Structure 1
């Protein structure tokens, strides 16, 4: 029947008097409102933290990394480079040589460090590290036959070294040769040119040298450890990974920015959707109230239902009345809760109202509103509300008109 929506609204929002049914209806709407708003705010905060962590990790990590799948290094050739350049999304290709070495100084303690050899100009296009230089300059070129070295500010302060100091690096390969050939370990001298500071989230700070100096240090000659790629859009990383896998074959391991820090990103996603499951329980409690309030309406309105059925209403028409009641409760709760959640998220994103107790990278809770998350929350809440009306609607459709009128 076309007027089933009108009847459903009258049953739900009658202004004659405030009853237990209207109170339960109000509680149901309030529960859905609170649950929906909380879900939007909490998931937006998790999205904000994910973006913050991602952006800081990408200050070190490339969008895509190419490494040898079976060995530590591989030969860089023009055929391979042409295949990579043929992919339109690839913007920058930065080769590197990486490994661990012993950092030695005169009259100071020695320390094992992660050394990364890079091509300075290309590396600057890949990682915005030049603005993070705190002391000296990022210069790893050869001066007076001595290559430069750049260390992290934290390492510089801990070892009490200064720009201009003479540092020595000894690789594991050099130590192995010294032991097997019974010779003095070959060390490579570097001139400390500067220090940089980047907030550490995962992994330890790296020491940067020129890529040719790193090749000599790790004795890899014309080979490299890997290639770091910068894309026009890092969200295209998975598509580029698939193309590179087909082009280069199984001899190479292709990793996206997500793969490089997969355990951390997976934990963040697990926390986000774990919170979703916990907070959806608020909506489920409200849904139970919907079942109770609609069932009480069915009991209270048995005579009315009997009259409607005797006037020609079918069972499906009666079901439609009570299903629309669940729909109206869901629409009101989702509408108010969605608007409230979006408003709170926008205010936090714009003004940073809620501050972090101890500032780490940021001083206020970050917020990033994801439209897909909002749609998912609203759809799930609305579907649960409609589902809650199934039992009361079924019970109402089973009422016999003669019995309903006789016992009233």
Structure 2
């Protein structure tokens, strides 16, 4: 017989009277709806925050970075550059020299800063930093035999620096040389040409100088600290990393944008799926209600079950009736909950209903709906509802027709 679906719907949604069973069924559907909607909204908010943080970090971090393995610097040669350029995913290659130096200024307390030497034109293609210049210009060229330097706005304000101030930098290599040769430490003079501001999520602000000036400062001559690579699509970073590892060998360490900030990204993923586990408990509570309501239907409908079995229904057919009840509850709850969750997410994206503190970098909770997350939520909720019908279906199949009719 193939009318098990009709019988299941009659048992669940009978309009004759409101009973405890119908009330429990309504509560179960409501629980599935609320749980599913909350899961979609909360995971979408976590996705939104992840995208905001990622965009902030990628406004400075490269898609792929190449550094020497086991060494601070490596030689830059044309063969290496050609191997990298041969990959179709690569758009920009920007070499850099990086290290710590002591910033020395008359009348100001000395401070250790992170100095990054860059090729200005390539760096501008890698990072859209020109729009972040708050004071002066991003000019690292040599004027009157003195190269330029750019500092972060926070450092400029803290040290009360002014444009065209004369700044001296002393590297660790210079201090070491002075100590071993018992000479005066050699400092390098720079003109302060400008200041920039980038929202810092991780790491401290950097001081920028021309790459040739940085090579002299850190005494590395024809070597560089690393290569920053911009791809046509940053989602291909892992694939490019594997290709570069195969081409360049073990002498180089390849890092993707995810690797560069791995602890932060890992924590965000952990928070997201930790929230999923906590919120799925709402669905599990609703599932327990499904077990209770279906079990009560089995008890109440024992005579009907006995009659159906005497008419030729098999145990498999009886189980099918109650499993379909669990399926219907799941479909209704997941359908309404999914639609409600997507509607709330869309409303937040469109209108920014829930605001954040004005001190934060965005004014409202960010939302990013991902189809894979929605699919996982709906499938997980539906499977739980179907599993909830297993015990009532098994119990219904154990009813003996003769006993059910005799004692009803």
Q: Same fold (TM over 0.5)?
A: yes
Output one character per residue of 1:198-241: Cα deviation in whole Å (capped at 9) or x when no partner: 11111100000000000000000000000000000000000000
Partner of residue 369, structure 2: 369
1:167 paired to 2:178: no
Mapped to 2, the partners of 1:172 and 1:245 lie a distance apart of: 31
1:67 paired to 2:67: yes
- Unaligned 5+ runs, structure 2: none
Partner of residue 293, structure 1: 293
Mapped to 2, the partners of 1:361 and 1:198 lie a distance apart of: 11
Partner of residue 134, structure 1: 134
Partner of residue 29, structure 1: 29
Root mean square deviation, CA, Å: 0.6
Mapped to 1, the partners of 2:391 and 2:266 lie a distance apart of: 39
Mapped to 1, the partners of 2:240 and 2:2 lie a distance apart of: 54
Output one character per residue of 1:89-132: Cα deviation in whole Å (capped at 9) or x when no partner: 00000000000000111121111000000000000000000000
Mapped to 2, the partners of 1:257 and 1:160 lie a distance apart of: 34
Output one character per residue of 1:8-30: Cα deviation in whole Å (capped at 9) or x when no partner: 00000000000000000000000
Aligned positions of 1:98-247 closer than 5 A: 98-247=98-247
Where do 4+ consecutive residues of structure 1 move more than 3 Å?
A: none
1:257 paired to 2:218: no
Deviation, structure 1 residue 149: 0.2
Mapped to 2, the partners of 1:105 and 1:346 lie a distance apart of: 53
Partner of residue 88, structure 2: 88
Output one character per residue of 1:234-269: Cα deviation in whole Å (capped at 9) or x when no partner: 000000000000000010000000000000000000
Q: Which secondary structure does the structure 1 equivalent of 2:96 belong to?
A: strand
Mapped to 1, the partners of 2:293 and 2:70 lie a distance apart of: 65
Q: Which secondary structure does the structure 1 equivalent of 2:363 belong to?
A: strand
Mapped to 2, the partners of 1:358 and 1:14 lie a distance apart of: 52
Deviation, structure 1 residue 172: 0.3
Output one character per residue of 1:181-213: Cα deviation in whole Å (capped at 9) or x when no partner: 000000000010000001111110000000000
Deviation, structure 1 residue 357: 3.0
With normalisation by structure 1, the TM-score equals 0.99
Mapped to 1, the partners of 2:87 and 2:359 lie a distance apart of: 41
Deviation, structure 1 residue 359: 3.2
Mapped to 1, the partners of 2:92 and 2:247 lie a distance apart of: 18
Mapped to 2, the partners of 1:141 and 1:93 lie a distance apart of: 21
Mapped to 2, the partners of 1:107 and 1:344 lie a distance apart of: 57
Mapped to 2, the partners of 1:9 and 1:48 lie a distance apart of: 40
Output one character per residue of 1:128-147: Cα deviation in whole Å (capped at 9) or x when no partner: 00000000100101111110
Deviation, structure 1 residue 71: 0.2
Mapped to 1, the partners of 2:358 and 2:132 lie a distance apart of: 23
Mapped to 2, the partners of 1:165 and 1:74 lie a distance apart of: 33
Deviation, structure 1 residue 148: 0.4
Mapped to 2, the partners of 1:228 and 1:141 lie a distance apart of: 21
Partner of residue 332, structure 1: 332
Mapped to 2, the partners of 1:28 and 1:326 lie a distance apart of: 10
Deviation, structure 1 residue 358: 4.3
With normalisation by structure 2, the TM-score equals 0.99
Partner of residue 303, structure 2: 303
